[in-house]
Structure 1
């Protein structure tokens, strides 16, 4: 019996189920691999962060640098460091070495992109140095010189430009200019040098005796040829012209003549042209500097001597002698034709006139109005003279003023 009991106990002991112990395990998955759910997800977020916080700000600053008061060299490292820091924070990176391979790869990409952008300007300057282009020619505001602009894609340094200017097949200027690529605008980096007009000028570019100015600029193995602005390079007065317009009072004017005449001359308006010869009136020379004197003579000699008029780039001035000759300033040649109406001591019919009282013009006969034009030596030493004749007569109680004598 005891044997049977022992057998049952052994059997029951053998049939008891095994106790299962659940072991708690700690995941070794890095934090960075959980973000985004996969390596592809984190890498996608990495490129998005780099684009938004590093690449876009970098190129925006590069493009609009001319509008930013801070130096680009000082600003760019801050942009790249700040962008890399924002990307690092956006991606949840702390110490990638403790966050797994994906985090290490993501952090390495951020750093690599920032470094590549940091050296981009230097690489461009090294690779593209010498890739120059002609940037154009601009006249100075006062007309005394013109600037030659040379553009370069990256890089800097000093360069020598050999300049030759030819007019009518003859070299009028040959010189070497040293300049540096030390300026920039919205189109990129550039340098410039200036050439005084008086060191080049040998005569008008326009007109019957004119000749264009061709400029060749050579730097290294590159040469650019251009034509200088012909208007800018036309400074010599080649033609003058005068006219006298009478102003009448008397019958129908509301004013009576002192001597009882039906119609009489109360004054004359004097006009002068000085410019480039043409089929009609002389054309304006907006860049020219010249002086002229004007006088009117009658049967008994000179009756009006106008103060010397100085003209500089269409701005005319003279001594008004206290209002006897207008206000002393005017614009000459602002509408294409180089005309100046000389101001006098009175106004009538919208004209500024030299009144008859000034010249006491009672004597009838031939009157001649003459202008003599002289120029700055740079633009031409020749003197230009022009005159017009007018017949002052009286017939049947009315005075007349007609062209020609």
Structure 2
């Protein structure tokens, strides 16, 4: 065999080896082509579409991370997970072994549709504007009006608002969203439009007009009833049979429990209805024989169901109480407890006047504008006869003391 023949044979063998290696390299650098389209779609549904849907519905309840950060973050994380699940691969320039072009195009198209759909639908399918919730702050000082419109504009427009004879113009932007969709809100100060209690004969009708569209609703009467129209007063005697208190008497008055009510006038002699958002001051005084002060209770201030007063170190109870939440009653506490009355009474030894005779218990409630006319006072007076009467026990000289409600002290 000639040198030329050997050289040619060696070159042919080298060419065959290079071809096999090139084929192996090409096969190794191309991702698997045999993944069914159903797996691609199911992976996108579970790892891409589902997290985005959950975020749209429940993202508003995640106060820790703003949605403006959460949406891009979830998009990136799900894209990485989908990319790995479908084994799409990385280009050689990034240290990978190649990209499966078909799967990459499907994933890119799916994410483009998901990200663009809200914007496209928002521009094409703009919802009808409607008056939604009207919510009061916890202390009742402000009222938030929500106007809903899915896909509405964030550009501010004028909203004409009227409540009865009162009106104002406020800017409205559909720039918020929650689980019910897109909305804008307007906040009003209640004292600006409050006039009187929201009774059936005097409802508060809210009307909002935006670009010619008029929307209206009747406001919550409980939230807008804050003017005290009825006050009541009452006392109850705490009795003692202790010789240290009563001496030779079989029983005697140890003190009185003072009670006041303030709220909305009801039928008959029933206690007034509670007003949880009423603000007022209450003055309670018990007089003896006309104008002589027997008990001058500290002034009571009521704000947002919390009644407070100067307890004078426990002489007048705890100095606070809840009123207007479940009822209109205010127990004006004293320093001593009575089991039978389940209340604290003011001992007779603390009265400035404690002789036998007629006593008048006066409760006065004062409110300031706008809740009532300037220096408006609503009051109630109840009368009681304090007396020694009868003879009891084995000794005919023994007597009992009584505390009896009467119609007047005339």
The TM-score normalised by the length of structure 2 is 0.78
Alignment partner of 1:291 is 2:281:
yes
Long gaps (5+) in structure 1: 1-23, 97-102
Determine helix, strand or coil for the equivalent of 2:105: helix
Whether 1:133 and 2:133 are equivalent positions in the alignment is: no
Task: Decide whether the 8 Å contact of 2:31 with 2:87 is kept in 1.
Answer: no
When residues 120 and 299 of structure 1 are mapped into structure 2, their CA distance, relative to the original with a 3 A threshold, is same
Alignment correspondent of 2:202: 211
Q: CA deviation at 1:165?
A: 1.2
CA contact (8 A) 1:147 1:192 kept: yes
Contact persistence 1:299–1:363 (CA under 8 A): no
Q: Confirm whether residue 122 of structure 1 aligns to residue 119 of structure 2.
A: yes
Residues 128 and 155 in structure 1, CA contact (< 8 A), matched pair in contact too: no
Q: How do 1:1-400 residues align onto structure 2 when only pairs under 5 Å count?
A: 35-36=33-34, 42-66=36-60, 67=62, 69-77=64-72, 79-80=74-75, 83-84=78-79, 86-93=81-88, 105-129=102-126, 131-157=128-154, 158-166=156-164, 171=165, 173-206=166-199, 211-250=202-241, 254-255=242-243, 257-279=245-267, 280-299=270-289, 301-336=292-327, 338-349=328-339, 350-359=342-351, 361-381=353-373, 382-396=376-390, 397-400=399-402
Aligned residue for 1:383, secondary structure, equals strand
1:255 to 1:135, Cα distance in 2 relative to 1, 3 A: farther
**Structure-1 separation of matches of 2:39 and 2:239:** 91
Aligned equivalents of 2:284, 2:275: Cα separation in 1: 19
Residues 299, 89 of structure 1: alpha-carbon distance in 2 compared, 3 angstrom cutoff:
closer
Deviation at 1:174, TM superposition (A): 1.0
Measure, in 2, the Cα distance between the counterparts of 1:244 and 1:314: 22
C-alpha contact (below 8 Å) 2:258/2:332 kept by paired residues: yes
8 Å Cα contact 2:293-2:353 kept in structure 1: no
Q: Answer whether contact 1:274 1:339 (CA < 8 A) is retained.
A: yes
Map Cα deviations across residues 246-289 of structure 1 (whole Å, 9 max, x no partner): 11112xxx555444112211111111111111120111111000
Q: SS in structure 1 opposite 2:36? A: helix
* CA distance, structure 2, for counterparts of residue 181 and residue 257 of structure 1: 72
Structure (1 or 2) with the larger CA radius of gyration = 1
Other structure's SS at 1:307 match: coil
User: Once superposed, what is the RMSD of the aligned Cα atoms?
Assistant: 3.0
Q: 1:320 to 1:33 in 2, by over 3 A?
A: closer
CA distance in 1, matches of 2:280, 2:401: 37
Distance in 2, Cα, partners of 1:354 & 1:323: 11
CA distance in 2, matches of 1:76, 1:115: 14
| 1:90-125 Cα shifts (integer Å, max 9, x gaps) | 4454699xxxxxx75544332222211121232133
Sort the Cα spacing of 1:104 and 1:221 in 2 relative to 1 into closer, same or farther, 3 A. farther
Q: SS state of the match for residue 118, structure 1?
A: helix
Please report the TM-score for the alignment, with normalisation by the length of structure 1.
0.79
CA deviation map 1:358-388 (0-9, x unaligned)? 2265522221111111102111123111100
How has the CA–CA distance of structure 1 residues 92 and 268 changed in structure 2, closer, same or farther, with 3 Å as cutoff?
closer
State the partner residue of 1:11.
none
